[in-house]
Amino acid sequence: MHRPPTEDTRSAAAASLFRPKVFRDVLRWLERLGVPARDRDDVAGEVWLCVWHSWPTYDPEHARPVRWLNRIMLHVCSHYHERASRRREVLLDEPLDVPDPAPDALSLLVAEETRLGVLDAIDRLDPHEREVLVGHDIEEMSMGDLVEKIEVPMSTAYRRTRALAALRALVEPLDGGE
């Protein structure tokens, strides 16, 4: 009859497994099993991840901790070699021509000129239209809050449509009317 492991036996097993020497041993075992140095840390991480997931089902009465760890490591290592045999890496003769995602100086200059032109156009709007446009679209105030702030009826606050049209008319000459 098999009895479940006690907390003491599991604690002793954990103490024998989770220590620096065993971590180094796993890396050494992986080296002996032919795992290249470039992949060894990743494969060791997979081993310890499998140990973590399997720990709740581990029975110290059934197998010694290091023996159990060794079986997990062999399993992970065999899967690594299986995947590695199908892996194909293609090396390029010439480096890839990847465009720089950062805007160039000309784009930054055009964007700044556009921004300044829009700000100038906003300044040239009728003061009432500007107040509604800035309050709602730039300061992101709700129309209800805006009506309270500028003390006008709600219907008057919808000057925003006129303000947008007026702004559009002032800005279109900046970009050539596109």
Angle between helices 20-32 and 65-86 (to 10 degrees): 40
Q: Quote the pLDDT of residue 167.
A: 82
Quote the pLDDT of residue 12.
Answer: 86
Question: Which CATH code of 1.10.10.10, 3.30.200.20, 3.30.2130.10, 3.40.50.300 fits the domain covering 105-175?
Answer: 1.10.10.10
- What is the pTM for the complete model shown? 0.46
Q: Is the dihedral of CA 31, 35, 36, 39 positive or negative?
A: negative
In angstroms, the CA 98 to CA 85 distance is 30
Which position has the higher pLDDT, 101 or 38?
38
Q: What is the pLDDT of residues 14-41, one digit of tens each?
A: 888 888 899 999 999 999 999 999 899 9
Assess whether pLDDT exceeds 80 at residue 175: no
Q: What CATH code would you report for 7-86?
A: 1.10.1740
Are the C-beta atoms of residues 61 and 3 closer than 8 Å to each other?
A: yes
Q: What is the dihedral of CA 66, 72, 76, 79, to 10 degrees?
A: 130
**Do 80 and 35 meet the contact criterion of CB atoms below 8 Å apart?**
yes
- Give the up-direction half-sphere exposure of residue 27: CA atoms within 13 A in the CB hemisphere: 11
CB atoms within 10 A of CB 5: 16
Determine the Cα–Cα distance for residues 105 and 44; give it in Å rounded to an integer.
47
CA angle 115, 121, 126 (to 5 degrees): 145
What do you get for the CA distance between the two ends of the chain, in Å? 85
- Residue spans per domain, the chain: 7-86, 105-175
Average pLDDT over residues 125-150: 83
Please tell me the predicted confidence (pLDDT) of residue 96: 74
* Domain pair 7-86 / 105-175, same fold: no
For residue 2, what pLDDT band results from cuts at 50, 70 and 90?
A: low
